[in-house]
Structure 1
């Protein structure tokens, strides 16, 4: 009976140790997975939200600069100055195209894709009008150029700002959602850590109890029976 009890106790200890190993392995896998997810989300906040937000601000700034340069082109009669303004507008247009190409490569939501498509359409319309105004201004038709600048060009510029503002707003909203999700997963990791510690303590106490019980059994001497 003593041997069978010892085997039973050892089996319980082995089972407890095995359960501990399985729990720790599963917890390690879950923690590693969650940490990778959190890292990916913070990376997405930076590369797909923060950087694009700065890109949108750059695009908006370049469009404002081109509008001012176009006005200066209309107001001057100096050929050298007009050429300098045209060069400045061309450089800004090139910068805008480069930034938009980089922006397209980021992770976009469905709404962002719609706003981006609208931005590209309004951009094409505005640039077409600006080129026509430059032709008028270069030809000396300043009054017609100024009328179009304050009319159709102004309307096209305001239409372009709408998708730009929408994209800028979305960067903050989506970034906030990603940050909240990452923060939630971090809290889950904290709770899981506490649970692992609690389970480890419980299993350790169980093993200690089994060992102490086993030692007490060993100390009990078998009773001797005398047959008369």
Structure 2
């Protein structure tokens, strides 16, 4: 009877310890998953937010450089033929750089809003390039005055709209970046919770082990006294 009772108690303790061990394994799996998600979030923050934000800045820089170059060309006196050639070469370099940066940006992870804004930005860039080329061609084939008039009525407006569209894209970049940061903070909180639970379970196991050892010693002492009697 005592043997059966002792075996039953041991089975209960073994089952309880097994349940605790299973909980610890599950918590460990969840913690590893959380750490992996945090790592992916940080990598995405760098590859899909920080680097693209830098690319957008350089795109804006080149757009401003084109605007400044065209302003200088149109309002610095009557350009010579060689100045027209130099201007075309400069704009070709600017547009090539912008195109390269746009292709690089397209390869990053984009949310739905970014994809929509990017399509609109492409259209604006095409219109802006077409307007600039028209201004340059008109200045070359007719007169600088004709080029200025076209630039003031069309060129500046298309350039401004392009920069506005680029600003909208940058704003979305910032918003998505903030969401990634909030997500990372949430994962850090979960990771801390998992660590706390692991410590609590480890303490509980320690208490159970001490309790089992103490109970065994009490039983042993009682058995020794019984045998002596």
**Is TM (by shorter chain) over 0.5?**
yes
Conserved 8 A contact 2:62-2:94:
yes
The range that moved more, 134-143 or 76-85, is 76-85
Residue 157 to residue 126, structure 1, CA distance change in 2 (3 Å): same
Match of 2:188 in 1: 186
CA distance in 1, matches of 2:155, 2:70: 10
Q: How many residues align?
A: 224
* Aligned with residue 214 of structure 1, among 203, 212, 216: 216
Query: TM-score, normalised to structure 1's length?
Result: 0.91
CA distance in 1, matches of 2:131, 2:139: 12
CA distance in 2, matches of 1:142, 1:47: 45
RMSD: 1.8
Match of 2:206 in 1: 204
1:161-217 alpha-carbon deviations (Å, 9 max, x no partner): 121001111111110110111011101111221111112111221232123212312
The range that moved more, 36-45 or 134-143, is 134-143
Match of 1:175 in 2: 177
1:30 equivalent to 2:10? Answer no
Conserved 8 A contact 1:126-1:156:
yes
Conserved 8 A contact 2:124-2:161:
yes
Match of 1:124 in 2: 126
Conserved 8 A contact 1:34-1:185:
yes
Structure 1 stretches lacking a partner, 5+ long:
none
Match of 2:11 in 1: 11
Query: TM-score, normalised to structure 2's length?
Result: 0.91
Following superposition, the deviation at residue 140 of structure 1 comes to 4.3
CA distance in 2, matches of 1:162, 1:72: 22
Structure 2 stretches lacking a partner, 5+ long:
none
1:18-49 alpha-carbon deviations (Å, 9 max, x no partner): 22321221111101100010111111111111
CA distance in 2, matches of 1:117, 1:214: 75
